[in-house]
């Protein structure tokens, strides 16, 4: 994988999710199912067998009532930039079939299903469990094939699936801009289905390199953080929370550990490689 030349203007699409606004309603998950033709099982009560590209996790502060506090964390693919910000994310680095790759022009980690042969190395490498293996051929109830999105291919069994930041929407917006003689996309021209469906506007999506996009300033907020930052995967999904216990749990620290000392050790270790 080659690094993008310095003179080339690149985009870095990312997401900022305000956890203080998220109610855990699951509208983002439903929108993702519908938009990306994610198949569902006849019996969805066994959630271990569910196939989903975005999950809403529930965490609490570990205190008994009445001091209990709950937080919901939507988790799509983190679209990692890799340790050296060159696109060498954990999943891309291990895929033997090049079925997943990093787009240097958008920062989006792709998934090419016709190349995937289901070895699941990427699933083992992903620290966020953002990838799902499709064990069954997709089936929909009678006449529900009409609800399928024609812009997204249905996947066969035996391949790994994941969130793509609704990349097909980017392609349509880019084609529209090309026809109109424009190079740049407006912020509202390319939005993910989960961001549009969120009833509390907890999810913001856009170009992290563009100061005119909301995510640019939100990702630089004092309350912004990312999951498992000490792994240096540099994810492009940021979270906001005014609660210190939420930010602490995001890096999965053990009791008594000092987050700043651990981050400093990780930075020093990265500098020696």
Residue-wise pLDDT tens digits, 170-215? 999 999 999 999 988 999 999 999 999 999 999 999 999 999 999 9
Per-residue pLDDT at 2: 42
> For residue 250, which of 231, 266, 267 has the smallest C-alpha distance?
231
Per-residue pLDDT at 256: 59
Whether residue 8 is contained in a domain is answered as: no
- Please count the helices (runs of H) and the strands (runs of E) in the chain: 8, 8
> What is the rounded CA–CA span in Å between residue 51 and residue 67?
34
**Is residue 141 very low, low, confident or very high in pLDDT (cuts 50, 70, 90)?**
confident
> What is the rounded CA–CA span in Å between residue 204 and residue 176?
22
Percentage of the chain lying above the pLDDT 90 cut:
65
**How high does pLDDT run on average in the chain?**
87
Distances, alpha carbon 265 to alpha carbons 10, 230, 231, 260, 271, in Å? 31, 9, 11, 9, 10
Distance of CA 136 to the CA centre of its chain: 23
Per-residue pLDDT at 273: 46
Whether residue 162 is contained in a domain is answered as: yes
Per-residue pLDDT at 23: 96
Region 209-238: mean pLDDT is 92
Per-residue pLDDT at 206: 96
SS3 category, 261: helix
**Is residue 79 very low, low, confident or very high in pLDDT (cuts 50, 70, 90)?**
very high
The CATH number of residue 137's host domain is 3.30.70.20
Which residue in the block uniquely carries the two structure tokens 């050790």?
265
Per-residue pLDDT at 96: 94
> What is the rounded CA–CA span in Å between residue 172 and residue 151?
9
Q: How many structural domains are present in the chain?
A: 1
Whether residue 219 is contained in a domain is answered as: yes
Residues in contact with 152: Cβ distance below 8 Å, sequence separation at least 6, in sequence order = 35, 36, 37, 168
Backbone angles phi, psi at 117, to 5 degrees: -115, 15
**pLDDT of 98 over the 60 cut:** yes
Whether residue 7 is contained in a domain is answered as: no
Per-residue pLDDT at 1: 45
What tens digit of pLDDT does each residue of 18-70 get? 999 999 999 999 999 999 999 877 776 776 677 889 999 999 998 999 999 99
What tens digit of pLDDT does each residue of 101-134 get? 999 999 999 999 999 999 999 999 999 999 999 9
Domain extent for 26 = 13-271
What tokens appear for 262 in the block?
């651990």
């Amino acid at each position: 994988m080659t690094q993008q030349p310095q003179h080339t203007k690149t985009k870095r699409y990312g997401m900022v999710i305000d956890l203080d606004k998220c109610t855990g309603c699951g509208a983002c998950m439903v929108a993702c199912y519908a938009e990306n033709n994610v198949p569902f099982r006849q019996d969805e009560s066994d959630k271990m067998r569910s196939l989903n590209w975005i999950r809403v996790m529930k965490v609490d502060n570990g205190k008994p009532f009445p001091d209990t506090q709950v937080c919901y964390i939507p988790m799509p693919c983190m679209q990692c930039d890799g340790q050296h910000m060159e696109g060498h994310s954990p999943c891309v680095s291990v895929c033997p079939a090049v079925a997943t790759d990093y787009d240097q022009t958008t920062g989006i980690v792709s998934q090419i299903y016709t190349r995937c042969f289901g070895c699941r190395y990427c699933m083992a490498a992903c620290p966020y469990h953002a990838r799902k293996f499709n064990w069954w051929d997709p089936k929909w109830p009678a006449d529900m094939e009409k609800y399928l999105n024609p812009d997204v291919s249905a996947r066969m069994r035996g391949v790994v699936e994941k969130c793509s930041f609704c990349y097909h929407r980017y392609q349509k917006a880019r084609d529209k801009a090309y026809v109109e003689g424009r190079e740049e996309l407006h912020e509202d021209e390319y939005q993910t289905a989960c961001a549009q469906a969120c009833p509390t506007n907890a999810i913001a999506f856009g170009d992290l390199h563009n100061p005119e996009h909301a995510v640019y300033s939100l990702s630089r907020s004092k309350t912004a953080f990312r999951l498992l930052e000490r792994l240096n995967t540099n994810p492009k999904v940021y979270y906001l929370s005014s609660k210190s216990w939420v930010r602490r749990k995001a890096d999965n620290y053990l009791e008594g550990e000092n987050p700043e000392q651990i981050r400093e050790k990780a930075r020093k270790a990265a500098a020696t490689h």
